[in-house]
């Protein structure tokens, strides 16, 4: 056994890229969710990303299941896929907090640390270098808030 060495920055970036590509190629929880109690559409006209997010929220306001369908670029699909993994089993209030944290991570300078349970989502932070991609990565998270609030109008990154 050797002590774990911290990964050099470029290896970490490679791992993150692998994670994004893996989720883009094999999105988790992809497809319509049966018995969904909440749903929201998100569109990003600049890139052509379109997704519909489904949630099944139980009587204790806990997200029992999440799924999505739609089409878009690798970043938007990977972000939605990571989202469905992240929010299953947590409360709606927590999910909205998580969403705010991720959106902040995407738009801010990265000084903010994500809470440990969101560590995988650091993979999305790379898009900060590509401002046009921020909307791709944040789309699903904005749709999440909309679904929880049961807003009926689709979320668009452009107003």
- Output the smallest distance, CB 44 to Zn ion, in A: 6
Apex CA 141: angle with CA 136 and CA 145, to 5°?
A: 140
The rounded distance, in Å, linking the Cα atoms of 107 and 104 is 5
- Output the smallest distance, CB 130 to Zn ion, in A: 10
Q: Which is nearer to Zn ion, 47 or 145 (CB)?
A: 47
- Contacts of residues 113-119 at CB distance under 8 Å and 24 or more positions apart, as own/partner, are 117/86, 118/86
- Output the smallest distance, CB 66 to Zn ion, in A: 20
Site for Zn ion in 21-80 (CB under 5 A): 47, 49, 73, 76
> H or E element: which one contains 22?
helix 9-25
- Output the smallest distance, CB 49 to Zn ion, in A: 4
Q: Which is nearer to Zn ion, 92 or 124 (CB)?
A: 124
Q: Which is nearer to Zn ion, 121 or 136 (CB)?
A: 136
Site for Zn ion in 117-156 (CB under 5 A): 136
User: How are strands ordered across the β-sheet holding 155-156?
Assistant: 63-71, 49-57, 38-44, 155-156
Q: How many residues bind Zn ion (CB under 5 A)?
A: 5
Apex CA 46: angle with CA 71 and CA 99, to 5°?
A: 70
Question: Footprint of Zn ion on this chain (CB under 5 A)?
Answer: 47, 49, 73, 76, 136
């Amino acid at each position: 056994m050797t002590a774990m060495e911290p990964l050099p920055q470029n290896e970490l970036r490679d791992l993150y890229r692998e994670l994004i590509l893996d989720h883009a190629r094999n999105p988790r929880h992809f497809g319509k969710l049966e018995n969904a109690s909440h749903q929201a559409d998100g569109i990003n006209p600049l890139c052509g990303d379109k997704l519909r997010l489904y949630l099944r929220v139980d009587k204790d306001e806990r997200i029992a299941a999440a799924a999505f369908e739609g089409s878009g670029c690798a970043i938007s699909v990977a972000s939605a896929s990571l989202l469905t993994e992240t929010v299953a089993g947590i409360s709606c209030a927590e999910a909205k907090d998580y969403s705010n944290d991720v959106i902040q991570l995407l738009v801010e300078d990265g000084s903010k640390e994500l809470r440990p349970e969101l560590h995988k989502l650091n993979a999305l932070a790379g898009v900060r270098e590509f401002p046009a991609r921020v909307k791709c990565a944040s789309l699903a998270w904005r749709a999440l808030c909309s679904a929880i609030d049961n807003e009926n109008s689709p979320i668009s990154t452009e107003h």
